[in-house]
């Protein structure tokens, strides 16, 4: 048996979601470990730019119910309305809590938290633009993550940084009893035993060739869940952010359009006026991404290959750009060679966010209807943040709602875990054969020679996803994509590791990441093929209409035989009336 550490709770992931949950547990004097494959403050949350959405009403009249309406509509009615109510209702408390922890928000002249307009946000159920997204300049995620990290240090959370979690340990009854993780520096495998395990491993946009995500966003938690025989929810829904820097992928925040920026085609036309007459450039992200893709397809794209459009912001004045969007200016100058104070920035739709993920209830408990009966929690397993699907984002997430999701449900999961630990004081016996199984998978990647490279296979997978499962999808393209992905998967056992030592072997880790990415790509293609309608970010050329009769339901993908199950959308909120599905226009 490998060496073992025992904790009350183990959190896999040191981003905003993991750190918010850990804080709740550590402040309750529980022994909590956070495992992170990078130093926690390098998690992708650090790069969130635009802000965190909450109806504070500091700039425009506002209330949480309008925020709820916008989120339901933004989700194209696929979001679960009870979870959305919970999130929007708790948003102001969550933001004030962060403020009191010391998060350095930008300020209005009257000293209140600065708020900016973001896409899909309205007053009075679809009326005028709401100004709802709270920001710390264009570095909100950085401020949030550092605040939470410092709080966790003070609360004595134990950090295991540069530890790579590989598999969940599950007993016969289906309870989760901990995880196996590799110490990256030495290659040593450790068993982290715990009565409650929370996955907060973030997104997985690295299945695509062009992405705004960090290279570490490889969906490891999702891979672990699939290998444990549990399902993933709504995997066909990936958000393409309208404004990524072409080729490079770096994100240009929606906050640029919030501050008054607009998009132009090669004829200098403000084309969003044609696609979304009311909200224009601040329509929901799926709408803006499709509009840009249409302009490019119609030959109105910019540049020598006509493959991007321009985003103009210089008209608000250099001083304002420098004050409100300093990071964006830096990114644009570095990666696009353009100073936005004087010229428009080239932008194109880029894979950005995973709406689907590990199915959970509002307490962050992982629920697995397939094996455990309807909505039954998997004992001892929780998931929060981008890797989870609670589902508040449905078919399309609104900007600023992800940071909110992290802190609201991170806290909720922490609270539930405290109760769960109190009710389950004695650890169950660890099944040794399960640990052996996890170790056998690792052993397959020891001292490996072979004819393929991990990087080559990853690029092949990313190209397949980009070409066969992008902004627009079609049956023949998706089927071809699945066949091509089968071939990549079959080549994976032949991948060589450049260095055969286990110590600090990054290729070995990349191989383990690819073993997570490929099944996620597969789940995406299979779910996208099944959903014969267009909803939110999932656009089928062959089924252009939304079909509420058949598809007001979530998909659940299980790895064994690519099995698909379904569960209805929870349309009933906690206390208010249902927002009935209607046509979605901006
Ligand atoms: C460029 C960019 C800008 C964004 N801007 C905004 C914004 O303005 N507003 C907004 O609301 N949302 C924004 N988003 C989305 C939002 O930032 C993310 O959805 C959110 O931060 C994800 O947080 P998380 O805690 O779930 O995961 P992450 O912050 O991605 O953290 C994941 C953690 O898991 C760890 N991990 C992963 N795998 C393993 C493993 N195998 N073993 C051990 N540890 C592991 C990592 O080390 C990391 O600590 C943005 C996203 C991007 C990419």
Domain spans, the chain? 243-349, 440-554
Residue closest via CA to ligand 1's atom 2 equals 48
Instruction: Give the DSSP letter of residue 48.
Output: -
What is the mean pLDDT of each successive set of 10 residues along the chain, which is 586 residues long? 95 98 98 98 96 97 98 98 98 98 97 95 96 95 98 98 97 93 95 97 96 96 96 97 93 93 97 95 93 94 94 96 93 96 96 97 87 74 98 97 98 98 91 92 88 96 94 96 98 86 85 97 98 97 97 95 93 97 94
Mutate to test the pocket of ligand 1, among 13, 42, 54, 157 (most ligand atoms within 8 A of CB): 13
Assign a CATH topology to domain 243-349. Answer: Flavocytochrome C3; Chain A, domain 1 (3.90.700)
Calculate helix-pair angle for 475-491, 506-530, nearest 10 degrees.
150
Q: For ligand 1, what atom is nearest to the CA of residue 224?
A: 41
Measured CA to CA, the distance from residue 237 to residue 539 in angstroms comes to: 9
What whole-number percentage of the chain has pLDDT above 70?
98
How remote is the CA of residue 355 from the centroid of ligand 1, in Å?
13
> How many alpha carbons lie under 13 Å from residue 330 in its C-beta half-sphere?
8
Taking the C-alpha atoms of residue 317 and residue 260, their distance in angstroms, rounded to an integer, is: 11
By most ligand atoms within 8 Å of CB, the mutation choice from 22, 39, 41, 44 for ligand 1 is: 44
Pocket of ligand 1 (CB under 6 A): 12-18, 35-38, 40, 43-45, 47-52, 140-141, 163-165, 200-203, 212-213, 216-217, 220, 251, 253, 353, 385-387, 399-403, 406
Is residue 384 reached through a cis peptide bond, with omega within 30 degrees of 0 on the bond before it?
no
Ligand 1, atom 13, lies closest to the CA of: 48
Q: Confirm if 485 and 469 have CB atoms less than 8 A apart.
A: no
Q: Return the pLDDT at 500.
A: 67
Atom of ligand 1 at shortest distance to CA of 203? 30
pLDDT score for 573: 97
What confidence score (pLDDT) does residue 428 get? 87
Ligand 1 atom nearest residue 19's Cα: 25
Rounded to 5 degrees, φ, ψ at 178 are 145, -170
Give per-residue burial for 460-487: e unless 16+ CB within 10 Å, then b. Answer: ebbebbbebbbbbbbeebbeebbebbee
Q: Which atom belonging to ligand 1 lies closest to the Cα atom of 402?
A: 11
- The two beta strands, 452-453 and 365-367, are unpaired
CA distance 433 to 72: 45
CA 271 to ligand 1 centroid distance, Å: 32
CATH class of 440-554: mainly alpha
pLDDT on residue 372: 45
> Comparing C-alpha atoms, which of 403, 409, 353 is closest to residue 87?
409
Query: How many Cα atoms within 13 Å fall on the side-chain side of residue 15?
Result: 28
pLDDT, position 429: 87
Centroid of ligand 1 to alpha carbon of 45 (angstroms): 4
Name every residue whose Cβ is closer than 8 Å to that of residue 535 and which is 6 or more positions away in sequence.
76, 77, 78, 395, 546, 551
Instruction: Name the residue at shortest CA distance from atom 20 of ligand 1.
Output: 45
Ligand 1 atom with the shortest distance to the CA of 17: 25
The yes-or-no answer to whether 243-349 and 440-554 have a common fold is no
Cα–Cα distance list, 166 to 37, 46, 216, 527 (Å):
11, 23, 14, 25
Q: What are phi and psi of 113, to 5 degrees?
A: -60, 135
Ligand 1 mean position to 390 CA, how many Å? 16
**How much distance in Å is there from the Cα of 47 to the middle of ligand 1?**
8
Q: How far apart are CA 499 and CA 203, in angstroms?
A: 28
- The residue nearest atom 49 of ligand 1, judged by CA position, is 14
Question: H-helix or E-strand containing 169?
Answer: strand 163-170
**Token digits for 138?**
């264009």
Q: How many CB atoms lie within 10 A of CB 273?
A: 13
Helices 81-101 and 401-423 cross at an angle (nearest 10°) of 90
- pLDDT tens digit sequence for 499-531: 667 777 889 999 999 999 999 999 999 999 999
**Matching residue, tokens 């009403």:** 57
User: For residue 406, how far is its CA from the centre of ligand 1 (angstroms)?
Assistant: 9
Q: What is the DSSP string of 221-283?
A: HHHHHHHTT--EE-TT-EEEEEEE-TTT--B--THHHHTT-EEE-TT---THHHH-TTTGGGS
The residues annotated with a catalytic role in the active site are 285
Work out the widest C-alpha separation in the chain, in whole angstroms.
69
Residue 509: phi and psi, rounded to 5, are: -65, -40
């Amino acid at each position: 048996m490998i060496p073992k550490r025992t904790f009350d709770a183990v959190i896999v992931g040191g981003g905003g979601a993991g750190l918010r949950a850990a804080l709740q547990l550590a402040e309750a004097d529980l022994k909590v470990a956070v495992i992170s494959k990078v130093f926690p403050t390098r998690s992708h949350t650090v790069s969130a730019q635009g802000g965190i959405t909450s109806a504070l009403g500091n700039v425009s009249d506002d209330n949480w119910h309008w925020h709820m309406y916008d989120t339901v509509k933004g989700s194209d009615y696929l979001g679960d309305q009870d979870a959305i109510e919970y999130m929007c209702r708790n948003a102001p408390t969550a933001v004030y809590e962060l403020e009191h922890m010391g998060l350095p928000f930008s300020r209005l002249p009257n000293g209140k938290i600065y708020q900016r307009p973001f896409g899909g946000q309205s007053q009075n159920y679809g009326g005028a633009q709401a100004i709802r997204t709270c920001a710390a300049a264009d570095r909100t995620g950085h401020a949030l993550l550092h605040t939470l990290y410092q709080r966790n240090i003070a609360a004595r959370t134990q950090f295991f940084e540069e530890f790579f979690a590989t598999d969940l340990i599950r007993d016969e009854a289906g309870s989760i009893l901990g995880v196996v993780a590799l110490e990256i520096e030495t290659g040593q495998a450790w068993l982290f035993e715990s009565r409650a395990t929370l996955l907060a491993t973030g997104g997985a946009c690295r299945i695509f060739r062009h992405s705004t995500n960090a290279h570490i966003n490889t969906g490891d938690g999702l891979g672990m869940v699939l290998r444990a025989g549990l399902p993933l929810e709504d995997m066909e829904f990936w958000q393409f952010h309208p404004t990524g820097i072409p080729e490079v992928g770096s994100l240009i925040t929606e906050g640029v359009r919030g501050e008054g920026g607009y998009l132009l085609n090669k004829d200098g036309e403000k084309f969003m006026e044609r696609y979304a007459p009311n909200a224009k450039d601040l329509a929901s992200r799926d709408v803006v991404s499709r509009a840009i893709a249409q302009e490019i397809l119609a030959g109105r794209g910019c540049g020598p290959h006509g493959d991007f459009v321009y985003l103009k912001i210089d008209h608000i004045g250099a001083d304002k750009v420098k004050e409100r969007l300093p990071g964006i200016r830096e990114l644009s100058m570095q990666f696009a060679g353009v100073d936005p104070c004087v010229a428009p920035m080239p932008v194109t739709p880029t894979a950005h966010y995973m709406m689907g993920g590990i199915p959970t209830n509002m307490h962050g408990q992982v629920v697995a209807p397939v094996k455990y009966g309807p909505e039954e929690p998997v004992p001892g397993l929780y998931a929060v943040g981008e890797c989870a699907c609670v589902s508040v984002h449905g078919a399309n997430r609104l900007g600023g709602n992800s940071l909110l999701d992290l802190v609201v449900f991170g806290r909720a999961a922490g609270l539930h875990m405290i109760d769960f630990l109190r009710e389950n004081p004695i650890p169950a016996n660890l099944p040794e054969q399960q640990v052996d199984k996890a170790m056998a998978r690792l052993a397959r990647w020891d001292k490996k020679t072979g004819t393929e490279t991990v990087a080559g296979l990853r690029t092949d997978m990313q190209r397949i996803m980009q070409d066969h499962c992008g902004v627009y999808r079609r049956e023949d393209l998706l089927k071809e994509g699945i066949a091509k992905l089968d071939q990549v998967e079959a080549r994976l056992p032949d991948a060589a590791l450049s260095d055969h030592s286990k110590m600090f072997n990054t290729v070995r880790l990349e191989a383990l990441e690819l073993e997570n990415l490929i099944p996620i790509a597969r789940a995406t293609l299979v779910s996208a093929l099944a959903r014969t309608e267009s909803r939110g970010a999932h656009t089928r050329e062959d089924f252009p209409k939304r079909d509420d009769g058949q598809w007001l339901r979530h998909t659940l993908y299980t790895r064994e035989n690519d099995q698909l199950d379904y569960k209805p959308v929870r349309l009933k909120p906690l206390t208010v009336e249902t927002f009935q599905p209607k046509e979605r226009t901006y």
